[in-house]
Amino acid sequence: MTYLRLKIATAILLIITTASYSQLHYGWRGPDRTGIYNETGLLKTWPVAGPSLLWEASEFGTGYSSPTVTDDVIYITGRKGDDDVLTALTQDGKKKWEVVYGKASDSNYPDTRGNPTVTNGRIFLVSGMGDMVCISKEGKLIWSNNYFKKYDGVTPDFGFSESPVVIGNKVIGTPGGKKAAMVALNVENGNVLWETPSINDVTQYVNPLIVDFAGKKMIVTQSANYVFAVDPNTGKLIWKFDYAAENTGPEKRFAHINTPLFRDGFLFISSGYDKVALKLKLKADGSVPTVVWRNDDLDPCLGASLLLGNFLYGSNWETSSFGKWVCVDWNTGKTVWITEWYNKGSVIAADGMLYIYEEKSGHVGLVKPGKEKLDVVSEYKILKGKGPFWAHPVIDKGRLFVRHGDYLGVFSLK
């Protein structure tokens, strides 16, 4: 009986522990990292000057990261001097606290990029020099682990910019290099729980995606040459797809940034610098995915893409300073339209509309999605802040959050 009671108690504890980490995650590109926000009742057109400004904030440091908006607090990262700093704001933009969480990048474009991931009352983030940290909702550092240094990870050209993914009691990092392709750290103390053996490739800037397929979960991300999947329970490598082999064009540069998109057993992979976009079919037996179609037009560099209905929307890379907007049929991979609108940039969606934010001059557009054309129904321009307009917008509770450097504007979409 004592043994039976112990088994029952262990099972109950496991259920409680699992449930405690199944709360809603806040962070990179909204629910499930898709760029689609679950909002309704939003404006379908804007006034000529744009939606009404609710409030604005600054002095949280320079950066290209997006704010992470929770039910009670808004978290935003920024660079101040040589440090990366996390700032907590109230829902009306007042500063609650700020804390240094690591050293900023010393690479090109060194301003802060990593988005905070918030779950179960804790904030997880990675500094520009590779410090994975856990911070309490009161702004206290709980633990820090520089897993890039621990595993001799090779620093990417633009520093580290992971937005951590949390699954169960694990927070995931991708050091790459010769020791480990991926690692899982305990959310309670930062200790290593498992290591994925090296795939002899270096890390990039992709924020991993949790995929639920054929009754199992997997963590999917991208290194310099591969797209690969890992078992979140054990760290075992499930499959490795050779993305570099699909790219034989003259443009040799690469900077893989876009989180994969997943639907119904298929993955969408894309990257800038004229790299091919691929739709991959996953295999229930865990073998290497196969290519369904290729598309040479949709190659977003920094702005990602999204899947709304049966169409993919994003921008392409024609040069480092210019790109157009692209729509691709999800089923066939055929390009539906390519349209110039100021410049390339980021895209999100909510309530059946697209929101695009071009990266050179700060125009924000409200777009009616469709296969006929890029139908921009309203637009306005962000006039404050400095530097490239690289931060992806965020929508929460009927509000549009738009960052530009050390400036955050919050606009009413109701």
Residue 253 maps to which CATH number? 2.130.10.10
Strand-pair partners of 327: 313, 337
pLDDT tens profile 77-119:
999 999 999 999 999 999 999 999 999 999 889 999 999 999 9
CA 97 to chain centre: 24
Dist. CA 24–CA 26, nearest whole Å: 7
Can you give the pLDDT at residue 11?
Answer: 40
Can you give the pLDDT at residue 16?
Answer: 36
Which residue has tokens 């890992």? 230
Dist. CA 201–CA 207, nearest whole Å: 16
What single-letter DSSP state applies at residue 343? S
pTM of the model: 0.94
Distances in whole angstroms, Cα of residue 229 to Cα of each of 180, 208, 239, 245, 304: 14, 10, 6, 18, 20
DSSP line for 135-192: EETTS-EEEEE-HHHHTTPPPPTT------EEETTEEEE--EETTEEEEEEETTT--E
User: Which residues of the chain, if any, have pLDDT below 50?
Assistant: 1-22
Nearest-5° Cα angle at 393, 42 to 304:
115
Residues 57, 60, 64, 65: is their CA dihedral positive or negative? Answer: negative
Can you give the pLDDT at residue 24?
Answer: 67
Can you give the pLDDT at residue 6?
Answer: 37
Can you give the pLDDT at residue 17?
Answer: 38
Domain range for 179 is 2-412
8 Å CB contact between 133 and 124: yes
Domain count, the chain: 1
DSSP line for 67-104: PEE-SS-EEEEEEETTEEEEEEE-TTS-EEEEEEEEEP
Can you give the pLDDT at residue 20?
Answer: 37
Average pLDDT over the chain, rounded to an integer: 93
